Structure 1
């Protein structure tokens, strides 16, 4: 589920992501961004989460360069990529210690739970003249999870019979097994939403959700096999004597 490293997009690459052949005025750039982000939205029939993240990253790069220039103006150059801190979805979910290096020095940080992509963390004394340096947070896909805004996304395999006839499915999530009900006759891919299993609320951000795309797979257990597996787990769990 990993995608391109959008944190290293150049200015020209960012323009190309939005379908722009070169530097144009701000309004033209904004309209190109709106078209691209609308087409790539994960909840759009033809949308794609990786493409959506790439479009957002391209827009941030263009905004960081300053106002859009006339089409005949020379391209602006960046002396170095913007500093970022790359973390995985589980660290974004739970927070915790992380180590990063900058200019030959090692820094140890304790991150809060619920960091969002694009937020900043501070490295004390890491800048020039011992000033503080702020790193933009980037959340890479890992552990079968990807992050978009407040929400988490994953895939799970289910029996084609479940998608055809409907029924209960059990999905192993980062929070443990969760049950959901599938309506009969849905065309794959089918996406479920598990409320409250996304990134935790933090600051102005509300509690996110977990979106699960169900992918048909012949070897995946059926609804009946899920029930048998659940029954077996219950009866094989050690019980304390009364």
Structure 2
């Protein structure tokens, strides 16, 4: 198998901070998400970005990966894990990641050999299951592997992290199995209680003149009317587009971010110069 450069996969330097790594992950995950990207090879690139982030966001994994990389391995070279690598124990529960999450043989060779065995339920036992945010929003069926069994459970819409689902009689010796829910990190959305937070990039003329733009939500894309003279940092509300709850759905809060495209032609550059004359900075 080939040695992978996780820093290159995220487009960051080996000295990148946690915040820089997270920002790069979100940008690339949004760009290559199979549901939105039309680029060739987007799905494979999306998997590579997720795998790199899984390693670099974790201090232990990142430290041992850095030590391995510093020993002379180069991207694309044939790789075999050195004897005893991972002795510190990358013990994490693959159920928390929804199975093996499509990780490569390279990842498995580093972090799979010492991973924690699949939880073996006992009477009154408890396991964790991470689900996509979209599944938590809409509810539905979800498979989970417990030891040598695969169970299908019903996820209620609006379930929150830390809440549990009880499977009667599915524990060892006929006991109950408690499944604690957590969420996968989402490349586009964050949560604030029941409210969903989303950042929308607008062109300057859209913000200045107003526009109707298509915005992704957990329930699908909707049109958002941006009023004229909208400033960067302003939040617009999509009522009822947040997470379900007993008292009804939360809202989706759309924060505006204004980005100016770089001029590609002489005509565009001339237009920017003319704008600088008409809109002096001071």
TM-score, normalization: structure 2?
0.43
Please state which structure has a larger fraction of its residues in strand. Answer: 1
Q: Could you say which structure has the greater relative contact order, defined with CA pairs below 8 angstroms and 6 or more residues apart?
A: 1
